[in-house]
Structure 1
């Protein structure tokens, strides 16, 4: 799922393309996509775009009649920009937003249709869609600490909770925790103040660095938005060497999510139980990274 760095770059490039321009026509190609009936979508046509915003992991187009178009990409949704006259890709296109400067196309790979489009009437309705997570890049340490310690859950769960923190998902939470050298299963209320500050600094640093990197790589438009990058330290790098200590990166698999971590850097060498594999191996499950074959 595109997270804060990806959505930030999308909004910046989209603002370059359509800020101040009229949205000539919107075509929804799959009926499941549009999740609202009022206001009707045709009210957005012919209106000028007065702003592009990020709402958590959503892209928001603000129109001059007070309406907002809210695009949630979910896991496999992506945005493409086509020059005037460009043809949207076939089966994966869900909607097209036509401007005189080009066409914005919302696509979604795979068969699970999770991406969504909402039309909301005003700023109050838009704010009602906000889960409430803070923007760590503008928050101070005290605010970060209050959110982190509000409930007692694992750090992985806390960082990815949109009610607590805005725009952080599976990929960047792995990178943040590796940078902070903290276990993904450490309970938030077991943290020392120094660890909270360490996590705060790591969160800001990772999100800033990756936003800058993706911004530089995007050029005119971000064409390859993915949760997996070869420059990442641990996310998506199971079995590959940690860039800090060289220990093979480990993982915890649960449902559709995978947590990647370095046992030596983050858990004192302890291997965290994988719900599927550790139960299968039982007594044969290695407890320490040094026991790995």
Structure 2
């Protein structure tokens, strides 16, 4: 799922292309992507785009007279910038937003349709879609610490809760915790002040570095490499590969449709965290430390 760095770069690319331009119309290739019926798509046409903004992991296009088009890309949704009037791709195309300068196409790979479009009227309607999480890039360390310790949860869960922190998901939380040398299952209430400070620095540094990296990759073009996994990541998506810091094989916890990746040597003192499926299957044969893996 695109997170803060990816969404930021998408918005910057769109600002160059559609701010000041007029929306000619919206073409829906899959009607189920539209989650609101008022205002109607036809009512958005003819309005000029005045701004773009990030609302958590959503991208909001603000049109004249406080009309908003809000897109949540979810796991597999992506944007493509094509020539004006371009055809919507057959199997993966969901919608097209036609502007005078070009066409913004929303696609979604796979069979599950989770991406969504909301058409809204008024700032209050937009605010109702905002989960309300803290913008960590604008936060103070004290504010971050208060939000982090505001509930007794694991660090992984707290960092990825959109009601607590804005724009951090599964991928970048793995990278943040690896940089901070903290276990994903450590409880927020058990952190020392020094560990909170280290985590705060890791959050800001990781998100800033990846935003800049994605900017460089996109250059003057439209972002084409938005994805959940990047080869340059330290641990996310790197199960079994060597940790770039210590060389130990990266470990994972699998739950539902998500995975948490971590380095046991760097983050958990060598202890292997129980995987809900494998540890139950292996029971007594489940290794307790990275050294037992040989």
TM-score by length of 2: 0.98
For the residue of structure 1 that corresponds to 2:215, the secondary structure is helix
For the residue of structure 2 that corresponds to 1:97, the secondary structure is strand
TM-superposition CA deviations, 1:50-69 (whole Å, max 9, x none): 00111110010000121100
Match of residue 203 from structure 1: 203
Report 1:86-101 matches (<5 A). Answer: 86-101=86-101
TM-superposition CA deviations, 1:91-122 (whole Å, max 9, x none): 11100000111100000011111000001111
Match of residue 263 from structure 2: 262
Match of residue 71 from structure 2: 71
TM-superposition CA deviations, 1:253-282 (whole Å, max 9, x none): 000000000000000000000000011111
**2: CA distance between counterparts of 1:42 and 1:65?**
15
For the residue of structure 2 that corresponds to 1:24, the secondary structure is strand
Alpha-carbon offset, residue 49 of structure 1: 0.1
User: Does the CA-based 8 Å contact 1:82-1:88 persist in structure 2?
Assistant: no
User: Does the CA-based 8 Å contact 2:88-2:95 persist in structure 1?
Assistant: no
**2: CA distance between counterparts of 1:44 and 1:9?**
25
TM-superposition CA deviations, 1:180-204 (whole Å, max 9, x none): 0000000000101110111000000
**1: CA distance between counterparts of 2:265 and 2:88?**
47
Alpha-carbon offset, residue 41 of structure 1: 1.9
The reply to whether residue 181 of structure 1 matches residue 165 of structure 2 is: no
For this pair of structures, how many residues does the alignment match?
A: 293
The reply to whether residue 245 of structure 1 matches residue 246 of structure 2 is: yes
**2: CA distance between counterparts of 1:261 and 1:37?**
43
Alpha-carbon offset, residue 85 of structure 1: 4.5
Alpha-carbon offset, residue 37 of structure 1: 1.2
TM-superposition CA deviations, 1:58-83 (whole Å, max 9, x none): 01000012110000000010000002
For the residue of structure 2 that corresponds to 1:87, the secondary structure is coil
For the residue of structure 1 that corresponds to 2:11, the secondary structure is helix
Alpha-carbon offset, residue 90 of structure 1: 1.4
User: Does the CA-based 8 Å contact 1:72-1:117 persist in structure 2?
Assistant: yes
Measured on the aligned residues, the alpha-carbon RMSD in Å equals: 0.8
For the residue of structure 1 that corresponds to 2:213, the secondary structure is helix
**2: CA distance between counterparts of 1:104 and 1:39?**
20
**1: CA distance between counterparts of 2:265 and 2:18?**
48
Match of residue 284 from structure 2: 283
User: Does the CA-based 8 Å contact 2:44-2:67 persist in structure 1?
Assistant: yes
For the residue of structure 2 that corresponds to 1:47, the secondary structure is coil
Structure 1: runs of 5+ lacking an equivalent: none
TM-superposition CA deviations, 1:123-143 (whole Å, max 9, x none): 111111110101100010111
Match of residue 165 from structure 1: 165
Match of residue 292 from structure 1: 293
Alpha-carbon offset, residue 39 of structure 1: 1.6
Match of residue 46 from structure 1: 46
Where in structure 1 do 4 or more consecutive aligned residues deviate above 6 Å? none
Alpha-carbon offset, residue 165 of structure 1: 0.3
TM-score by length of 1: 0.99
**2: CA distance between counterparts of 1:109 and 1:181?**
34
**2: CA distance between counterparts of 1:41 and 1:84?**
18
